[in-house]
Amino acid sequence: MSASPPPSSSSAPPVSQKAFHVSWDQFHRDARALAWRLSASGPFSSMIAVTRGGLVPAAIVARELDLRLIDTFCVTSYVAEGVQGEVTVLKGVAAEIAAGAGAGVLVVDDLADTGATVKQIRALLPKAHIATVYAKPLGGPLVDTYVTEVSQDTWIYFPWDLGLSFQAPIADARR
Ligand SMILES: O=P(O)(O)OC[C@H]1O[C@H](OP(=O)(O)OP(=O)(O)O)[C@H](O)[C@@H]1O
Ligand SMILES: O=c1[nH]c(=O)c2nc[nH]c2[nH]1
Ligand SMILES: [Mg+2]
């Protein structure tokens, strides 16, 4: 799968140079690995999935940790690949879950990049346990648990954003 170079913008974080393509199988394994790590933390009474990317790992982690009370925190910030706009909260969390500043609440997202999204969640729920599958150096220190770190100049391509496509033989590039 080839990656088109991301667009640049003066307000954007460092333009990604590298591409990390994640298959469904790999994502499932990494989300399970996150659940294994989280099983040593907690216990958690409820979960918050950070939409949209957090919905997929949240389902996998909830299944592994037998969590059934799940809310969403609906937020968006990236307007295009590598181009971050304002972090906009479209929907907060239910009062009963937010009660107690998030104590006993597990928050799950697919990744922490600049950490802007995690900062929003931390401000709302300072006692929550925030977990992501992947993290970049700026976001990783703000997260309580993650599985794999990639460099800041790597763009992660998630399986729900990918499709199968023809690959030209390597020899073609040398002609
Ligand atoms: O650490 P940050 O720089 O805040 O970036 C990480 C966030 O960006 C992406 O979400 P996005 O806002 O693009 O929305 P999506 O989940 O709907 O794709 C990703 O799913 C994280 O939630
Ligand atoms: O698909 C994505 N890959 C990334 O690396 C990333 N960083 C922020 N938002 C992102 N979305
Ligand atoms: Mg997201």
Euclidean distance between CA atoms 165 and 173, whole angstroms: 17
Ligand 2, atom nearest to 154 Cα? 5
The reply to whether 123 falls in a domain is yes
The reply to whether 135 falls in a domain is yes
Annotated binding site for GMP: 113-117, 155-156
Q: Please state, in angstroms and as integers, the Cα–Cα distance from residue 144 to each residue in 3, 17, 65, 91, following that order.
A: 30, 27, 17, 23
Query: What would the 3-class secondary structure string for 42-101 be?
Result: CCCCEEEEEECCCHHHHHHHHHHHCCCCEEEEEEEEEEECCEEEEEEEEECCCHHHHHHH
Residue 10 above 70 pLDDT?
no
For residue 118, report the distance from its CA to the centre of ligand 3, in Å: 10
Identify the active-site residue in 25, 30, 113, 144: 113
The reply to whether 55 falls in a domain is yes
- CATH at 106: 3.40.50.2020
* Placement of tokens 């996998």 in the chain: 60
- ipTM for the predicted complex comes to 0.98
Ligand 2 pocket: which of 155, 158, 160, 162 to mutate (most atoms within 8 A of CB): 155
The reply to whether 9 falls in a domain is no
Domain containing residue 134: 20-159
**pLDDT, tens digit (0-9, with 9 covering 90-100), for 53-87:** 999 999 999 999 999 999 999 998 877 777 788 88
The reply to whether 166 falls in a domain is no
Confidence band, pLDDT 50/70/90 cuts, at residue 163:
very high
